[in-house]
Amino acid sequence: MSIFAKSVLVASCTFMLASLLAAIMDPLNSMNGESVAYFGPHVERREDVMENRRMLLEQQRSLFQSHLQERRQTLRGSNYTLLTPNEGYPQINIDRISEEVSKRIAKDIASHLDVKTISNQVLQQFSASDATKEALPAENSEHHSEISREPSVVDKANKPVKIFILMGQSNMAGQGDIYGDRDGDLEYAILKKNRYRHLIHEQADGNYTWATKEDVRYVHIDSESQKFNIKRNGELSVKNAEGPKRKIGPEVGIGWILGDQYPDEPILLLKVCTGNRNLGWDLLPPGSERFEMNGRVYAGYHDLEESWKNDTQPNQPENITVDFLKSHPGWYGGKQYDLDTNNAKKVLSKLDKFYPGAKSGYEISGFFYWQGEKDRRNDVYSHRYEANLVQFIRSVRSEFNATSAPFVVSSVAFDGHTMEGNTRKVFEAQMSVDGHRRKYPDFFNNVKSVDTRNIWQDIMGEIRQTEHYGSFGEAYIEAGSAMGWAMVQLLKQL
The tens digit of pLDDT for each residue in 414-469 reads 888 889 999 999 999 999 999 999 999 999 999 999 999 888 766 665 555 567 88
Continuous H helices in 26-114? 46-76, 94-107
Q: Which residue has the higher pLDDT, 217 or 150?
A: 217
pLDDT for 12 beyond 60: no
* 66-70, 144-148, 225-229, 239-243: which is most confident: 225-229
State which H helix or E strand residue 387 sits in: helix 385-399
Report the percentage of the chain scoring pLDDT > 70: 66
CATH architecture for segment(s) 160-288+334-492: 3-Layer(aba) Sandwich (3.40)
Distance, first Cα to last Cα, the chain: 92
**Residue 13 CB neighbour total at 10 angstroms:** 10
For the entire predicted model, the pTM comes to 0.70
Per domain, the residue ranges of the chain are 1-43, 51-132, 160-288+334-492
Q: What is the pLDDT, as a whole number, of residue 55? A: 60
DSSP lists the bridge partners of residue 166 as: 271, 368
CA-closest candidate to residue 488, choices 480, 151, 341, 433: 480
State whether residue 380 is helix, strand or coil: helix
pLDDT for 31 beyond 60: no
Phi, psi of 309 (to 5 degrees): -65, 150
Handedness of CA 122, 125, 128, 129 (dihedral sign): negative
How far is the C-alpha of 345 from the C-alpha of 399, rounded, in Å?
A: 9
**Residue 313 CB neighbour total at 10 angstroms:** 10
CA distances from 466 to 273, 283, 377, 412, 463 (A): 20, 21, 12, 10, 8
Q: What is the pLDDT, as a whole number, of residue 119? A: 52
CA-closest candidate to residue 457, choices 418, 410, 411: 418
Q: What is the pLDDT, as a whole number, of residue 244? A: 67
Residue 184: which pLDDT band, with cuts at 50, 70 and 90? confident
Phi, psi of 337 (to 5 degrees): -60, -50
How far is the C-alpha of 286 from the C-alpha of 305, rounded, in Å?
A: 16
Burial label for 95, CB within 10 Å (0-12, 13-18, 19+), is: exposed
